[in-house]
Structure 1
Amino acid sequence: MAAFDLPLDRLERYVPDLVEPDDFDAFWAKTLDAAAGPVVLDVRPEPNELALFDCWDVTFGGFDGQPVRAWYTRPAARSDALPAVVEFAGYGRGRGLPHERLTWPAAGYAHLLMDNRGQGDLYGCGGDTPDPVSGTAMGGPGVVTRGIRSPHDYYYRRLITDAVRAVLALRELPGADPARIAVIGNSQGGGLALAVAGLLPDLAAVLVSAPFLCHIRRAVDLTDLAPYGEIATYLSVHRDAEPEVWNTLSYMDAVHFARRATAPAHFGIGLRDTVCPPSTGFAAYNSYAPADKIMHTYPYNGHEHGDAVHVRRQLRWLAPRH
C-alpha cells in the first residue's frame, strides 16, 4: 500500500478538535461503579507442556460481574512478586491457547492475557468468553456495531470495562506486584490499553501499537477495511442512525482517554496502515497527557508496524520503568 495519510511532519502536529460528551467522566464512573463486586472468581492451574512457564486459567468478573477468562503466566519456579503486564488482544481474536504469547513471561514478567468477550472466530485459536448481552444488542456482523445506537448498549462499553477489571484482577493474583502493572495492546488491544490508561490513574506504563478506536470518525472516512469499514456498512443500511452512532462512539474514542492518562507511554505506528490510519493513532499520541512518551514510526509498514523490531524496542523501553 502506498502512503495515503498525512505526511510525517503534519502527523507530528496533528491534534484534532474532537467533540467530547459533557458527561464523559460521569458515564465511565457510573459504568465502572456498576461493575463493582468480586474480581477474581476462579483460578486453576493449566497444563501448558512447557517446562519454563507456569500457567493458570483465570476467571474474573468483568462488565456487570459477567465472567471473563484470561491466561495468567509466570516464569516457572519464581515465588517473588514480579512486575506484571496485562495484554489485550486484537479484533476478532480470543485468548487462544496458553502457550501462544510468551514474550512477556519470557522476559521475567507476570503476564495476564485477557480474552475478548464474544470474539475469537476470525483468526488465532479461538476464545472462551461469551458475550451474554450480544443477543439483545442489535448490530452486526462484527462486534464493532453491536448496540452502536446507544453508548449504554454498545459492545465496547462492556469490553473496556472488562479491560479495567483485568488490571484489578491481576492485582489480586499471587506473584504479581500490584504497584508495577503495565498494559499493552496492538490494534484493538492498543485502543483498550489507552482506555484503561485514562480510567486507572496508577499504572506503571502503557504500550500501544497501531491503535484502534482512535479518532474514529476520521478512520471511517479514510478506510473501507474492517473493523472501521463495518461501521460504514452499518450506516449504509441504517441511514437514519448517523447521529446516534457518532454520539455512541464519542464515549469510546481513545483520544479522550489519552487526555486523561497519567502513565508513561510507548507508541508504534506503521505509516502505511490502512486498517488503523496513522493520523488516528497520532491523534491519540499527540493528545496523550504525560510528557514521558515516545513514538516509533515505520514508514514502509502497514498494520504490522515494526513487528518483532518494535517488540524489542518495547522490551528495552519498559525494563527501566517497571
Structure 2
Amino acid sequence: MPLFDLPLAALREYLPTLDEPADLDKFWAGTLDRARTAEVLVEVLPVETGLSLVETWDVTFAGHDGAPIRAWYLRPAGIEGDLPVVVEFIGYGGGRSEAIEHLLWPTAGYGHLVMDTRGQGGRWGSRGDTPDPVGSGPAAPGSMTRGIDSPETSYLTRLMTDAARAVDAARALPGADGRVAVTGNSQGGGLAIAAGGLVPDVDAVMANVPFLCQIRRAIDLTDADPYQEIVRYLAVNRGREAAVENTLRYVDAVHLARRARADALFSAALRDMTCPPSTVFAAFNHWAGLSGATPRKDIEIYPFNNHEGGAATQNMVQLAWLRERMPVAGLRNPGPAPTPSTPAGRGASRA
C-alpha cells in the first residue's frame, strides 16, 4: 500500500477545526448518569482455565442503560495485594474470546479487565458473549449504522457508554487498587480514547491505530470497512446525511479526546487504509485541548505498516511506558525499558 495521506511533517502539525455539538457535554453527562443508576458490578465468578500462573473471573457489569456486559478479569496468581487494572477494548468484529488469549497484562503484573463488545464477536477471534438488546431501524450490515439517525439511538453511543462503565467496573473489582489504564487496537483504541474523555480521571490511555477518530474525514478518505458501512447506508438512505453527520459529531473520539486529562500513548501506521493516519493525529494533536490539563503524550509511528500497526513491537513499548506510570509494588523489576524509537524505520513523537 503506498502512502496516501498527509506527509509526516504535516501530520505532526495537523490540528483540524472541529464541529462539536453545543450540547456534547450535556448529552454525555446525561447518558452516563442514566447508566450509573445501576450498580456497576452484577456478577464476578471464578473460572477454571487450567492456567496455574493466572487467576480468572467471568465478570458481568452494567453498561449503557444498565444492560449486562460480559468481561474477563485476570490477575497474576499468588498476589495477595491490590493491583492496578488495565481495561482492554476489542477491535471491530471481535469479542472477548477465550480468557487464555489475554495473558500479556496479567503476566506483566497487572489486573486485566477485557470488555466484551455488545453485538459483535462473529468476524474473528473466538466469539463474543454479549448481545446488544437494543433494536434499530434500517442499517447496513455491520454495527456502525445501527440507530445512526440519532445520537440517542446510535450503537456507538451504547458502545462508548459501555467503555466508560468498564472503567467504573475495574475500580470496583476485588483486588483492584483504583488505578486504571485503558487500551485497545483499532475500535478498541477509539474506545480507549472515548473512555479517557468520558472518565477523565483514568491514569493512562494507550490507543493503537485508533478507529472512530475524525469519522467524517475517514469516510471520504478511505474505501475500507468499517467506515464504508456508513457510505453504503447513505447510498440507500438518501436524504439522511444531515441526521447521520449530526450523530457522528457526538461519537467522534476526537471530540472526547479534547476532554481527556491522562497521559496518553498512541500509535499510527502511515499506510493504514482502515484508520487513516491523519485521523489518528487529529485525536493525538487535540489530546487534552479543552481539559486544562497538561499530560504527557507520545505517539509511535510505523511508516511501512498498514492497519496491523506495530503489533508485538508496540506491546513492548506499551509495557515500558505503562511501567513508568502505573508501577506494581512487590514485583520483580523486568529490567531496562526498550527505547521506543530505536528500531529502524520508526519514530516517536512526544509532547
Task: Give the TM-score taking structure 1 as reference length.
Answer: 0.98
2:335 corresponding residue in structure 1: none
1:23 corresponding residue in structure 2: 23
**Aligned partner of 2:50: which letter?**
E
1:140 corresponding residue in structure 2: 140
Do structure 1's residue 301 and structure 2's residue 322 form an aligned pair? Answer: no
**CA distance, structure 2, for counterparts of residue 97 and residue 13 of structure 1:** 41
Q: 5 Å matches for 1:184-263? A: 184-263=183-262
* 1:149-168 Cα distance to aligned partner (Å, 9 max, x none): 11100001101111111111
CA contact (8 A) 2:262 2:295 kept: no
CA contact (8 A) 2:74 2:112 kept: yes
CA contact (8 A) 2:53 2:77 kept: yes
CA contact (8 A) 1:273 1:301 kept: yes
Aligned residue pair count: 320
**CA distance, structure 1, for counterparts of residue 159 and residue 273 of structure 2:** 24
CA contact (8 A) 1:72 1:113 kept: yes
**Aligned partner of 1:292: which letter?**
R
Identity value in percent: 57
**CA distance, structure 2, for counterparts of residue 137 and residue 101 of structure 1:** 35
Do structure 1's residue 292 and structure 2's residue 293 form an aligned pair? Answer: no
Q: Hey, which bits of structure 1, 4+ residues long, moved more than 6 A?
A: none
Secondary structure in 1 aligned to 2:101?
Answer: coil
**CA distance, structure 1, for counterparts of residue 314 and residue 166 of structure 2:** 24
**Aligned partner of 1:11: which letter?**
L
Secondary structure in 1 aligned to 2:144?
Answer: helix
**CA distance, structure 2, for counterparts of residue 125 and residue 307 of structure 1:** 19
Task: Give the TM-score taking structure 2 as reference length.
Answer: 0.90
Deviation at 1:170, TM superposition (A): 1.1
Q: Structure 1 residues 17 and 297, CA, compared in 2 at 3 Å: closer, same or farther?
A: same
CA contact (8 A) 2:86 2:111 kept: yes
CA contact (8 A) 1:85 1:181 kept: yes
Secondary structure in 2 aligned to 1:73?
Answer: strand
**CA distance, structure 1, for counterparts of residue 130 and residue 199 of structure 2:** 24
* 1:234-266 Cα distance to aligned partner (Å, 9 max, x none): 111112110001000000011111110000000
**CA distance, structure 2, for counterparts of residue 92 and residue 151 of structure 1:** 21
**CA distance, structure 2, for counterparts of residue 139 and residue 35 of structure 1:** 25
1:270 corresponding residue in structure 2: 269
**After alignment, is 6-15 or 136-145 more displaced?**
136-145
Q: 5 Å matches for 1:28-177? A: 28-36=28-36, 37-133=38-134, 135-177=135-177
Deviation at 1:84, TM superposition (A): 1.1
CA contact (8 A) 1:137 1:153 kept: no
Unaligned segments of structure 1, at least 5 residues? none
Deviation at 1:140, TM superposition (A): 2.4
Unaligned segments of structure 2, at least 5 residues? 289-293, 327-351
CA contact (8 A) 1:137 1:154 kept: no
Secondary structure in 2 aligned to 1:25?
Answer: helix
**CA distance, structure 2, for counterparts of residue 171 and residue 140 of structure 1:** 36
CA contact (8 A) 2:209 2:267 kept: yes
**CA distance, structure 2, for counterparts of residue 162 and residue 6 of structure 1:** 33
